[in-house]
Structure 1
Amino acid sequence: MATRAPAHGGLIRLQGVGVAFGAVQALQGVDLRIEAGERLALIGANGSGKSTLLRVLNGLLEPGCGTLLRDAASRQAMVFQRPYMLRTSSLNNVALALWLRGVRWREAREQALAALARVGLAELALRSARTLSGGQQQRLALARAWALQPQVLFLDEPTASLDPHAKREVEALMASFAQAGMTLVFASHNLGQVKRLASRVVYLEQGLIRADAPVEQFFDRSRLAGLSPEADLFVKGESA
């Protein structure tokens, strides 16, 4: 695997990437290019390879084969479906992430307060992060990621376990991050969410990319069937 700036533009480029866990082929020959400012949604059934692909893109997982082309200096962050909360205050959960990046502690706390305000949690800065509701914890995870000022934010099913109100809050934050110029790459089972937030959709099945299209084209059933019968069946099933 190589990690360097893509030779032909784009933020990240995968060429022939494969990942196997024992006898299970999680990704197979994946070619993918991500441009700055995109809002890329990864969809597919459980086990299709979405989470594995996110981890490869973020550098958390080494491909077994293929090439990852990425600017090593680009800033990235990731938010998980169930983010880990340290046994300390909400403020410290964000400040520690900054401190680990080399920010002095006083400055880290100041920036952490600004990040908490950004996601509407300033009044809960001193509360233990583990006592927050699921929606509040997800917003705290977004604050922790936003504080690092990433160019690319990866999100793995960020609203899967949240109630409708909390989902709307998280979606609003994602949309505002994108509007400010951040590139988003997120996995989701919620096709309504994909329609609201994505500019492009990638459909995975058994570790293969079966469809890759702008969101308007992807959800045009008259065009999707010709583009990818597998993706058309998935969308039909999820929309039923």
Structure 2
Amino acid sequence: MLYLRDVSVRFGQVQALRQVSISVARGELIALVGPNGSGKTTLLRAMHGLLRMQGTRTVGPQAQRQAMVFQRPFMMRLSVRNNLRLALWLSGVPRAQWNERCAAALARVALQGLEERPARALSGGQQQRLAIARAWAVQPTLLFLDEPTASLDPTAKKEVEALLAGFAADGMTLVMSTHNLGQAKRLASRVVYLEDGEIHADLPTAQFFDGALQGRARQFVKGEMA
């Protein structure tokens, strides 16, 4: 679906990615893990085409419809419904489909009945679910998520994880960054470990957690480094 080859990204004096190559196949749920500053968010943004980079980004026909949920989703000063409608408008969805898609998206994330509530008046967990609904409503085949459960309480984390597992079961392809190794183990089909802007391990989830890792990647999984 998507392939990066020898991609490098620099922010001023900071080399955020160093000749990274990675592919995404249809139906995968990939978890990007690594210490703070390892390049997880930069890689997500590069994969989504949001950054100027050196290297090659190739997007296949199955990945033309993409969406991204950011770690701190921005809510417009609008109602829940109109936040969804704005996303649909920006994505070029015909107006005749808006009501149906809004209703389906809110039902999917269990926010039905809150259509007229100001989006910024929602709880943190509700705002995160609305951000996910906003992305899901445009019917992406490839969804990127940056720390989708960061700062959420345990109940809200479980709700978001259940949503993502449901999307994967429906056949959507997902790439997410996370600091929660338990979450990666529960949800991902593949885990990619980054450090200093480079990929040091890229393995199916079972292999990643079975003790075969070496060096700093092994230390990270054992909780011996941040």
What is the one-letter code of the residue matched to 2:51? L
CA distance in 2, matches of 1:224, 1:166: 31
Kindly provide the CA deviation profile for residues 116-143 of structure 1, in whole angstroms up to 9, marking residues without a partner as x. Answer: 1111001111100000000000000111
For residue 103 of structure 2, what is the aligned residue in structure 1? 113
CA distance in 2, matches of 1:167, 1:230: 28
What does 1:1-240 correspond to in 2, within 5 Å? 11-63=1-53, 65-71=54-60, 74-221=64-211, 223-225=212-214, 229-237=215-223
SS in 2 for 1:82: coil
Maintained 8 Å contact 2:93/2:138:
no
Count residues with an aligned counterpart: 225
CA distance in 2, matches of 1:172, 1:62: 34
CA distance in 2, matches of 1:217, 1:75: 31
CA distance in 2, matches of 1:236, 1:35: 28
Maintained 8 Å contact 1:201/1:214:
yes
What is the one-letter code of the residue matched to 1:67? T
Give the TM-score normalised by the residue count of structure 2.
0.96
CA distance in 1, matches of 2:59, 2:100: 31
CA distance in 2, matches of 1:71, 1:198: 22
Tell me the CA shift for residue 115 of structure 1: 0.7
Tell me the CA shift for residue 100 of structure 1: 1.8
Give the TM-score normalised by the residue count of structure 1.
0.90
Tell me the CA shift for residue 106 of structure 1: 4.6
Maintained 8 Å contact 1:200/1:215:
yes
Distance 1:133 1:238, change over 3 A: farther
Maintained 8 Å contact 1:159/1:167:
yes
What is the one-letter code of the residue matched to 2:216? E
Tell me the percent identity.
62
Kindly provide the CA deviation profile for residues 147-204 of structure 1, in whole angstroms up to 9, marking residues without a partner as x. Answer: 0110110000000110000000000000000000000100000011000000000000
Tell me the CA shift for residue 92 of structure 1: 0.7
CA distance in 1, matches of 2:154, 2:161: 10
Question: Aligned Cα RMSD in Å?
Answer: 1.5
Maintained 8 Å contact 1:37/1:178:
yes
